[in-house]
């Protein structure tokens, strides 16, 4: 795996020295050192040796056949200086060492830790981005083949905005990637303006997601358009490339036939297939991750759905998965499934990557209160820990959809069956705007105490479960999923600067739709310039 040199060199150069000796580079962080080199095809593997201090003895830290190594050094100490040697091994024999090079590790501030997590996680969308389409892979280690995901790619669009704003890549690099992506999006198969859930990366053709699911998926399409509308507002420069990008996004937005997906009824239907039509008949009712689909449907300037669809199908006091108003751990939760304490935490993330919940309310709930309480209840449940899972506590919580440890995938949530002992890092990290102090404790614990196994080339791996084994290597599911990676970057950025929220909420179509639905901001009518 090769990381972009701009990403390696660009991050917080003042934090630790970066040395270069030929192709070998080392960089120190808070608790680990990253080593990179140009791989020689004649070399079977590389051994990494490190010494602490000026006169320390070099000790073997690990070996790899790859071109990078992450060395967690908390077993040696904190706030220390280390020297590294890289030793190639050919036919079982060690060759001349490269180095030594030095790196320092020191306690990072909270802001530095957030920057580190965002930048590492961004590598998933930049270094591991799908080259044929400009979009994002569904996951690493996919058994399904080389698949791109529309929803996860929508999240990836928003990470490019963060990267351009933070200077990890140039603004032009971000625009070029988005022009590549929108070229694919406008020329691939669409279904009444909507994209499928999955596409084959090499051919660009639709990849069936499930039975009767080989056509339009309005929820995945909503996640994509949430990202694109945010990008349209952000990339507002008066130049040819950014003008072209805005024009493409506008056309894609206008092409989306939200009204078609009501099937002449009063609810949005999740799927439509050119082979099966609406036979799957999966009507979308709240409360879950799909709020953004109803809002965009009402906001559409070309193919809107009636406001009644929101009030009678998405919302509704007779829907046991919508209205809650039950007390958990001393907190009343307005919305969400009662049995599972409101449901998995991604309900508080996916629709709110661009939709700003700060002060946002309608007649059903205040959405900042909803999301903060949902997060705190999830945390309180883990602290209560009714099934006595190892590790659960104030710095080890977060139940949401993700890979199970040791295998499988499920929507983890509080309660019977849903809670299986797996904590998914994206849950607490993507809740950073709602619970900054509580989420930061999880970040520090997972990174500093479990990072040797849980931290990899794209940041935190997808899941950790201390109950499956006493061997730390077996406690981590070493996979990455696009829909889990994206919210980490985006919601941390919304916590730090509000960047994505502020840009999405500048869109006049969005504001007009929210106004029609009766939403208010800080108790006042929505204003549209």
| Chain segment 178-190, per-residue pLDDT in tens | 999 999 999 999 9
Residue 306 sits in the same domain as residue 357: yes
Q: Half-sphere exposure (CA, 13 Å, Cβ side) for 127?
A: 19
Q: Which residues contact 324 (CB under 8 A, 6 or more apart)?
A: 287, 333, 334, 335, 336, 337, 338, 342
Nearest of 484, 524, 483 to residue 148 by alpha carbon: 483
Largest CA distance in the chain: 77
User: How many C-beta neighbours within 10 Å does residue 13 have?
Assistant: 10
Q: What do you get for the CA distance between the two ends of the chain, in Å? A: 48
Distance CA 259, CA 443 (A): 42
For 271, phi then psi, to 5°, come to -125, 150
Domain CATH number, residue 348: 1.50.10.140
Residue 187 sits in the same domain as residue 292: yes
Q: Does residue 123 belong to any structural domain of this protein?
A: yes
Domain CATH number, residue 59: 2.60.40.10
Q: Cα–Cα–Cα angle for 201, 303, 176, nearest 5°?
A: 35
Strand partners, 439: none
Q: Does residue 527 belong to any structural domain of this protein?
A: no
Strand partners, 20: 25
Q: Which residues contact 41 (CB under 8 A, 6 or more apart)?
A: none
Residue 517 sits in the same domain as residue 387: yes
Q: Does residue 293 belong to any structural domain of this protein?
A: yes
**Residue-wise burial string across 459-488, b where 16 or more C-beta atoms lie within 10 A, e elsewhere:** bbbbbbbbbbeeeeeebbbebbbbbbbbbb
Residue 174 sits in the same domain as residue 300: yes
Q: Does residue 310 belong to any structural domain of this protein?
A: yes
> Quick one: pLDDT at residue 14?
33
Residue 64 sits in the same domain as residue 118: no
- The CA distances from residue 227 to 100, 331, 332, 460, 466, in Å, are 45, 32, 31, 23, 35
Residue 122 sits in the same domain as residue 244: yes
Exposed, middle or buried: residue 58 (CB in 10 Å: 0-12, 13-18, 19+)?
middle
> Quick one: pLDDT at residue 176?
98
Q: Does residue 407 belong to any structural domain of this protein?
A: yes
Residue 430 sits in the same domain as residue 314: yes
Distance CA 422, CA 408 (A): 11
> Quick one: pLDDT at residue 78?
96
Q: Please report which residue ranges of 95-149 form alpha helices under DSSP H.
A: 110-126
Distance CA 263, CA 503 (A): 32
> Quick one: pLDDT at residue 196?
98
Q: Which helix (H) or strand (E) holds 102?
A: strand 98-105
Nearest of 477, 380, 468, 461 to residue 420 by alpha carbon: 468
> Quick one: pLDDT at residue 22?
53
> Quick one: pLDDT at residue 327?
98
Residue 192 sits in the same domain as residue 135: yes
Q: By residue range, what is the domain housing residue 405?
A: 113-521
Last-in-domain residue among 107, 133, 167: 107
Q: Does residue 196 belong to any structural domain of this protein?
A: yes
Rounded to the nearest angstrom, the gap between the alpha carbon of residue 70 and the centroid of all alpha carbons in its chain is 22
What is the SS3 assignment for 30?
coil
DSSP for 337-364? -TTTTT--GGGGTGGGTTS--TTEE-SS
Residue 278 sits in the same domain as residue 145: yes
Q: Cα–Cα–Cα angle for 349, 350, 353, nearest 5°?
A: 75
pLDDT tens-place string over residues 357-408: 999 999 999 999 999 999 999 999 999 999 999 999 999 999 999 999 999 9
Residue 201 sits in the same domain as residue 294: yes
Last-in-domain residue among 107, 134, 154: 107
Q: Does residue 528 belong to any structural domain of this protein?
A: no
Say if residue 406 is preceded by a cis peptide, omega within 30 of 0.
yes
Distance CA 411, CA 475 (A): 18
Residue 361 sits in the same domain as residue 474: yes
Residue 63 sits in the same domain as residue 177: no
Whether residue 20 contacts residue 27, with contact meaning beta carbons closer than 8 Å, is answered with no
Strands of the sheet with 360-361, listed across from one edge: 360-361, 520-521, 524-525
Q: Does residue 526 belong to any structural domain of this protein?
A: no
The tens-digit pLDDT sequence of the chain (529 residues) is 433 333 333 333 333 333 334 589 999 999 999 999 999 999 999 999 999 987 899 999 999 999 999 999 999 999 999 999 999 999 999 999 999 999 999 999 999 999 999 999 999 999 999 999 999 999 998 888 899 999 999 999 999 999 999 999 999 999 999 999 999 999 999 999 999 999 999 999 999 999 899 999 999 999 999 999 999 999 999 999 999 999 999 999 999 999 999 999 999 999 999 999 999 999 999 999 999 999 999 999 999 999 999 999 999 888 889 999 999 999 999 999 999 999 999 999 999 999 999 999 999 999 999 999 999 999 999 999 999 999 999 999 999 999 999 999 999 999 999 999 999 999 999 999 999 999 999 999 999 999 999 999 999 999 999 999 999 999 999 999 999 999 999 999 999 999 999 999 999 999 999 999 999 999 999 999 8
Last-in-domain residue among 41, 76, 107: 107
* Number of domains forming the structure of the chain: 2
């Amino acid at each position: 795996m090769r990381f972009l040199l701009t990403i390696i060199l660009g991050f917080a150069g003042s934090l630790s020295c970066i040395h270069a000796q030929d192709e070998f580079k080392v960089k120190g962080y808070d608790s680990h050192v990253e080593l990179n080199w140009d791989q020689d095809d004649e070399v079977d593997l590389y051994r990494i040796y490190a010494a602490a201090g000026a006169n320390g003895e070099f000790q073997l830290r690990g070996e790899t056949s790859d071109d990078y190594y992450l060395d967690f050094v908390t077993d040696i100490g904190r706030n220390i200086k280390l020297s590294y040697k890289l030793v190639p091994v050919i036919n079982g024999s060690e060759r001349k060492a490269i180095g030594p090079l030095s790196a320092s590790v020191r306690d990072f501030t909270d802001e530095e830790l957030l920057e580190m997590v965002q930048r590492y996680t961004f590598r998933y969308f930049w270094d591991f981005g799908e080259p044929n389409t400009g979009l994002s892979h569904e996951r690493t280690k996919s058994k399904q083949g080389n698949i791109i995901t529309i929803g996860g790619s929508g999240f990836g669009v928003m990470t490019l905005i963060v990267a351009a704003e933070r200077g990890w890549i140039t603004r032009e690099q971000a625009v070029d990637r988005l022009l590549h992506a929108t070229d694919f999006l406008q020329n691939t198969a669409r279904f009444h303006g909507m994209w499928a859930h999955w596409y084959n990366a090499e051919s660009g053709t639709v990849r069936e997601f499930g039975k009767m699911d080989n056509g339009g998926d309005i929820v995945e399409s909503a996640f994509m358009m949430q990202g694109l509308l945010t990008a349209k507002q952000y990339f507002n420069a008066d130049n040819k490339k950014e003008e072209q990008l805005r024009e493409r996004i506008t056309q894609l937005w206008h092409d989306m036939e939200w009204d078609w997906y009501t099937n002449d009824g009063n609810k949005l239907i999740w799927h439509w297939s050119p082979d099966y039509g609406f036979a799957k008949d999966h009507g979308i009712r709240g409360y879950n991750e799909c709020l953004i689909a109803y809002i965009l449907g009402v906001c559409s300037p070309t193919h809107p759905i009636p406001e009644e669809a929101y009030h009678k199908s998405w919302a509704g006091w007779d829907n046991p998965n919508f209205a809650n108003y039950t007390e958990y751990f001393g907190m009343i939760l307005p919305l969400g499934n009662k049995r599972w304490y409101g449901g998995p935490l991604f309900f508080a993330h996916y629709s709110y990557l661009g939709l700003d919940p700060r002060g946002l309310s309608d007649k059903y709930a205040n959405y900042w209160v909803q999301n903060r309480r949902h997060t705190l209840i999830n945390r309180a449940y883990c602290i209560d820990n009714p099934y006595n899972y190892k590790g659960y506590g104030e710095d080890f919580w977060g139940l949401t959809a993700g890979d199970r440890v040791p295998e499988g995938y499920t929507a983890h949530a509080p309660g019977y069956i849903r809670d299986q002992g797996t904590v998914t890092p994206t849950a607490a990290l993507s809740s950073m705007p709602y619970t900054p102090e509580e989420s930061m404790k999880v970040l520090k614990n997972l990174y500093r105490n479990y990072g040797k196994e849980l931290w990899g080339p794209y940041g935190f791996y997808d899941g950790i479960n201390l109950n499956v084994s006493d061997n730390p290597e077996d406690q981590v599911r070493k996979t990455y999923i696009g829909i889990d990676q994206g919210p980490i970057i985006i919601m941390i950025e919304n916590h730090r600067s509000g960047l994505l929220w502020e840009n999405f909420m500048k869109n006049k179509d969005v504001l007009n739709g929210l106004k029609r639905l009766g939403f208010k901001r800080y108790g006042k009518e929505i204003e549209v310039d």
